[in-house]
Structure 1
Amino acid sequence: MKIDLHSHTHYSDGKLSPKELIDRAHNMQVNVLAITDHDTVLGIDEALQYQTLQKRDMQILPGVEISTSWHNFDIHILGLNVAHNDPVFLQRLDQQSQERDRRAQLMSDKLAKVGIDNVLSDAKTIAGVGQLTRAHFARVLVQRNVVKDFDTVFKKYLGKGKKAHVKPKWISIEEAVNWIHDAGGKAVLAHPGHYDMTTKWLRRLVAEFAQAGGDGMEVVHSHLTPERKKLLAGLAAEHELQASSGSDFHYPNRWTELGRNLSLPEQLVPIWHDWTLTGNKASFPE
């Protein structure tokens, strides 16, 4: 069974619509797919409705990737199997959207000061129905040939300490975990192997996430070395966190693919171990 619990649509910084994402997941023979856009669940109903029309069975899990602040790091927490239409949850996510809009305006203002005008307007056009992210700003600068690629955008303009960086005011990890639990979901530390921190800080992050009530962590995600996978599996076991795996798929490319190489270490408890995965609906036992 192929289970991929981390993917994005054009409702955040992915390039595919929910329909296109599901079609690709079918082509890759994915059995369970979580859609986890940044701080929004707007694509979930569209995805669920489209999947009901498909002949091939595939489980769609409602999810979200919530941005948090932790010791000057931006840490992402996945909410898996959330009640995505819960009014309180939607109201809370709207707070995150408002923060994204505030940050986007300030980034645009800073870029204007160095001679790069009207980036926010173009970023909104690229984002369309999606949440505004730094990736949309990066696309604008690359399209305008201000820089040659995404990496250069962040190294010169949008990364920490650079000309147009704006420190976000995200919620805490503990708040994100509480939001997810209140919405009936499981809280998972997203792509811990990708944060720009030392192993000492990574160990501290996992420990504090577990103390905050987190349920699991991604021990398998894209671009991990065997040594890194071993480290993450050890940390999950040490802190009794369940194991999750996800491609963090945003768009078709040669490095990342839905459902590819996501098998979990056998000694760990999968995050889905107590879910009923049948049809187009997932549930917890009573």
Structure 2
Amino acid sequence: MKIDLHSHTTFSDGQLTPAELVMRAQNMQVDVLAITDHDTTAGLDAAHDGVAAHYPGLQLIDGVEISTHWHSFEIHVVGLNIDRHNQTLQAFLQVQQQKRDERAAKIADKLAKCGFEGTLGRAKRYARDGQITRAHFARVLVDCYSVTSMETAFKKFLGKGKRAAVKAEWASIAEAVEAIHAAGGQAVLAHPLHYDITTKWLRRLLTDFKHAKGDAVEVVFPTANPAKQQLLFELVDEYGFLASAGSDFHMPGRWTELGRCGLKSDTLTPVWHDWALTPVLSSER
């Protein structure tokens, strides 16, 4: 059974619409897909419509990826199996979206001082109806200002400590977990090896996530170093978290693809261990 619990659409920084994403999941023979856009659930209705109309065998999990502030780091917490209509969660996400808009305006001001005028309007056009993210600004720099790649845009301008970096005042980890639980979901610490922290700080992060009543940790995701991933497996087992896995899919590419990051472990309990999942029959594909 192929399970992918981390993906994005055009409603945040993904490049496929919800309908296109569920179609690609079907083509990649994914059985269970979670859509986890940044600080919004706005794409979920369209995704459900697409599944109901064309791919009834695909099991769609309602999700969200919430940005949080922890010490000097931006930590992401994924919510799985949420009630996307929950008023407490939606009120929380509205505040997050306002903070995201405020950060975007500040990023545009800093980019203007770097010689890149008019980036906010262009980034909003890339974002369309979705959440504006740093990735949209990176695309603007690549497409309109001759920056060589998205990676270069972050390394030179948008990454932590760079000239156009802006630290948003996100919610705390505990507040994010509380909002996810209010919506009946499970809180998952996303891609913990991406935060460029030492083992000591990783333990501190896991300890704080445990105190915040987090449920699971994403242990399988793209580009994870095998040795560090093994350490993460051991720590998740030690701390008693459930385990999650996802491609963090944004667009088709060499390094990421839907369904490619499966969980293989004899010791960890999957976050989906008590979900009502039904394998897709080959005739349904």
Q: Does the TM-score normalized on the shorter chain lie above 0.5? A: yes
- Between 1:2-11 and 1:224-233, the stretch displaced more is 224-233
The structure-2 alpha-carbon separation of the partners of 1:42 and 1:279, relative to structure 1 and needing over 3 Å to count, comes to: farther
Secondary structure in 2 matching 1:187: strand
Match of 1:108 in 2: 108
Code of the aligned partner of 1:102:
E
1:146-161 alignment, distance < 5 Å: 146-161=146-161
Q: Distance in 1 between matches of 2:259 and 2:189?
A: 19
User: Following TM superposition, by how much is the alpha carbon of 1:233 offset from its aligned partner in structure 2, in angstroms?
Assistant: 0.7
Per the alignment, residue 218 of structure 1 pairs with 218
User: 1: CA distance between counterparts of 2:18 and 2:279?
Assistant: 18
Q: What is the rounded CA distance, in whole Å, between the counterparts of 1:219 and 1:29 in structure 2?
A: 22
Kindly indicate whether residue 176 of structure 2 is the aligned counterpart of residue 189 of structure 1: no
Partner letter of residue 249 of structure 1? F
Number of the residue aligned with 1:137: 137
Contact kept, 8 Å, 2:26 with 2:55, in 1: the verdict is: no
Is contact 1:107–1:166 with CA below 8 Å preserved after alignment? yes
Q: What is the CA–CA distance in structure 2 between the aligned matches of 1:264 and 1:12, rounded to whole Å?
A: 29
1:241 aligns with 2:241: yes
Compute the RMSD of aligned alpha carbons. 1.4
- In the alignment, which residue of structure 2 is the partner of 1:283? none
Q: Residues 264 and 270 of structure 1 are in contact (CA less than 8 Å); yes or no, is this contact kept in structure 2?
A: no
Runs of 4+ in 1 over 3 A off after TM superposition: none
Does structure 1 conserve the Cα–Cα contact (< 8 Å) formed by 2:116 and 2:145? no
Alignment of 1:18-37 (within 5 A): 18-37=18-37
Q: Secondary structure at the match of 2:24?
A: helix
CA contact (8 A) 1:111 1:119 kept: yes
Cα drift, residue 114 of structure 1: 2.4
Question: Aligned partners of 1:253, 1:240: CA distance in 2, in Å?
Answer: 34
AA partner of residue 28 (structure 1): M
Instruction: Name the amino acid aligned to 1:252.
Output: P
Q: What is the CA-CA distance between 1:189 and the residue it aligns to?
A: 0.3
Residue 6 of structure 2 corresponds to: 6
Distance apart, 1:56 and its partner CA:
5.1
State the identity as a percent: 55
> 1:146 deviation in Å?
3.7
Aligned to 2:204: 204
CA displacement, residues 50-103 of structure 1 (integer Å, 9 cap, x when unaligned): 101125501000000000000110000000000001122111101010001000
Q: Closer, same or farther in 2 for the Cα pair 1:103/1:185, shift >3 Å?
A: same
Kept in 2: contact 1:243–1:264 (CA 8 A): no
State yes or no: 1:91 paired with 2:91. yes
Could you say what secondary structure the match of 1:217 adopts? strand
CA distance in 2, matches of 1:266, 1:15: 35
Q: Which deviates the most, 149-158 or 40-49? A: 149-158
Report the Cα distance in structure 2 between the residues aligned to 1:217 and 1:264, rounded to whole angstroms: 14
Give, in whole Å, the separation in 2 of the partners of 1:58 and 1:160. 38
CA distance in 2, matches of 1:161, 1:245: 29
Counterpart amino acid of 1:139? Answer: R
In 1, are the aligned partners of 2:112 and 2:118 still within 8 Å (CA)? Answer: yes
The question of whether the paired residues in 1 share the 8 Å contact of 2:31 and 2:279 is answered with no
Residue matched to 1:284: none
Determine if contact 2:173/2:212 at 8 Å carries over to the other structure: yes
Q: Which residue of 2 aligns with 1:67?
A: 67
Question: How far does residue 203 in structure 1 lie from its aligned partner after superposition?
Answer: 1.5
Structure 2 residue runs of 5 or longer lacking an equivalent are 281-285
- Asked if residue 177 in structure 1 is aligned to residue 177 in structure 2, the reply is yes
Could you tell me which amino acid in structure 2 is paired with residue 84 of structure 1? R
User: 3-state DSSP class of the match of 1:75?
Assistant: strand
| Residues 261-270 or 136-145, more deviating | 261-270
In the alignment, the residues of structure 2 paired with residue 148 and residue 138 of structure 1 have an alpha-carbon distance, to the nearest angstrom, of 10
Distance 1:71 1:14 in 2: 27
TM-score (norm 1): 0.95
In structure 2, the residue corresponding to 1:263 is in which secondary structure? coil
Alignment match, 2:283: none
* Alpha-carbon distance, 1:131 to partner: 0.3
Unaligned 5+ segments in structure 1 are 281-286
SS in 2 for 1:112: helix
Tell me the TM-score normalized by structure 2. Answer: 0.95
